[in-house]
A and B are shown apart, each in its own frame.
Chain A
Amino acid sequence: MVKNNDYFWLFMIITLAVLAVRIIVNENYPLRLGLDLQGGLQVLLEADVPPEEPITAEQMQTVRRIIDDRVNGFGVAESNVQVEGDRRLVVELPGIDDERQALELIQGTALLEFVDTGNFSLPPEECVRTSLNEGKPSPCELEGGRTITDTLTFPAPQYNTVITGDGIANAVVEIPNPGRYIVAFDLNPAAAQLFEAHTRANVGRFLTIVLDKRVISSPEIQAVISNQGSISGNFTLEEAQTLALQLRYGSLPIPLKIVANRQVGATLGTISAASSIRAGTIGLVVVLLFMAIYYRLPGFLADIALLFYVLLNFAIFKYMPVTLTLPAIAGFLLSTGMAVDANILVFERIKEELRRGFTLPEAIVAGFDRAWSSIRDSNVATLIICLILFGFGRNFGASMVQGFAITLAIGVFISMFTAVIVTRTLVRFIMGSGAPWLEKHRRGLIGL
């Protein structure tokens, strides 16, 4: 009863198994664990502007890029920043241990400072140390940015912060002559006082504008400035606009507020991960035993298909990659139940056909044929549920649901292959070729 078709499938199965094992052992495809399995921080930020004020997709992308840069500087291996909808941003920092610093970093409209650099005009992009945090090295330096250290004094000089971005009430681009752009800014009263005192005493020296300890521009103080000032330089229109935005909002083109967040301690995550693996393994082993004991030889063959199914799932989780959370693992385990169910449907059919007096090869053909419509229907129904859940899980608050829906759906797809084609190929090879002998001498093995 073995056909050419079966050799083709056997070849496919072995190839896929080899491929899956290679992906699983390949360290370039790490298993991605969610927040609940390794601890960490997840924050949903929303544009803090009136709802009627339009926000362009480009603006959101700019915000995303800036925040992404910041969290990358934080040294989190698998940080992830994504735009969600029109005006929201999800920031995921798995495995971090200092939530406070991370939150400051994300939310912190980056720190803008006007620092006194005396007689030196500093080149843009240079990293500086300021009096504001006692001259400590900043992320700017730690990320390998250029510093004054290597060219001038050692240790790096610490510059005095005159005012910070908080003092700026507004900033706009002005065009005094065509092709020339300056950035004009207004100061609030408290900052204006400080600024006036400083500029009065330091005309002719340089006042450097620093964002997150990185020099933006370093203009000369040409006149006393109190509540209004302007920065001129060789700006293009775009640069001037960016600078105006940075002066207004720190560095983000749009101010953000936190609308939801989730923090999970690292230990909680590790415990959950370990216990999930334990629970999943125990559950699977019991299912494997049950199938082999209850359905005998075909049950044993279904077990092989099931192990192959687990292998394929893991390979796909690593390859895509799928972020594994507790609900995602639950979805995978539930899909395992679906895979087993498909084989149960087939084996019950085969038994029925045997009782009706069909020979074993006939019963095998009929069993797989007749059970297929039930398997297809129930899998389609489950996939529809997954689709609805996936849509529901697009909300940040329900994002846990998405993991469940994804792994359940992947599992259903794979199970249609393993529980039908893999089991059928194995059953045909092993039971088909040995049918007469099995029917005569080993009826117990086929569950009769």
Chain B
Amino acid sequence: MTITKLKLNLGPQHPSTHGVLRLILELDGEKILSCEPDVGYLHRGMEKMAEQMTYIQYLPTVDRIDYLAGCFYSELLCRIVEQALEVELSDKVRVIRVMLLELNRIASHLLWTGSFLMDLGATSPFFYTFREREMILRYFEKLTGQRMMYNYFVFGGVRKDIDCLDDVQEIIDILPEKIDDYEKIITDNPIFLKRTEGKGILDKETALNYAITGVNLRASGVDLDFRNIDYLYKGFDFRTIVLEEKDSWARYKARIMEMRESCNIIHQALEYLKMTPALEQRLINPLNLKLPAGDYFAQIEAPRGLAGCFVCSDGSDKPYRLKWRTGSYYSVNLLRKLLVGEYLNDAIAIAGSLDFILPEVDK
């Protein structure tokens, strides 16, 4: 008997590839024999662009690398410049940045929770998580004038002083209750458990070998959180979520627990911000900004894994070479290993659980 393989193009226009990912699958029935991810449908040449723009011209565009967590990438570029010019941030700026980063992380995880459940076929949680995400986005809109592309961090500080702290207080008061609600409808659901427990097992060695970072790695039992060695988070008390289950369920649970932990960080930031006087900061003059020749490197724990920025400067006002390191790119690369041997409907759930978005992959 000969087995004829069915070659299936999953994407680039497909409801659950989170953008424009194309997976070239070989199927036997519904079982996946091989998987080849094909990316590049959203390539905007962010790295090439950087070589033709001054630093301040480039700054507003970097939010677009990850439209769900734009803050992280502007923080990286700001950090490169601050590092090169050896500017120290004041404590208040540091805390403001941490608070916004964590709010953004929660917003990103909320969207993921909804879309993951959508991949599993449950439509309602999508609306519930969007309701809470909307609160966060409203706050961002009030503060920065933008819902997703904030452009709020500037070299040496933030664009304006923080306000509307009551809104943040309301968000972190409500959010833990709402997360309890999600857990009631999702975590205890037997069908959900059946779809996620033991599915898409990513062991420690494979995860490290494929350079997986962030929540996905921590759900595989590796205690690696770059926030622990980040100078921005110095003085904050938070727990690193490490789960040993290694499956889709662990990746879901880790994100839920991380949202609670982020609430905790925001709470601490809020306590600090409520007591401190108005912001005084010395911003770096962005006009005629030149970085001394040399290599600069910065990294941060983004919602989708480690994000890094590398700048090679030749002393001019434009970077000689700028490279982004994004978590999603490596998660997509992992699919070629993780999906083999799974059934098609599990494959969608596993791919969804890795939380990649395509603008980050294609840069």
Q: Do A and B come from one complex?
A: no
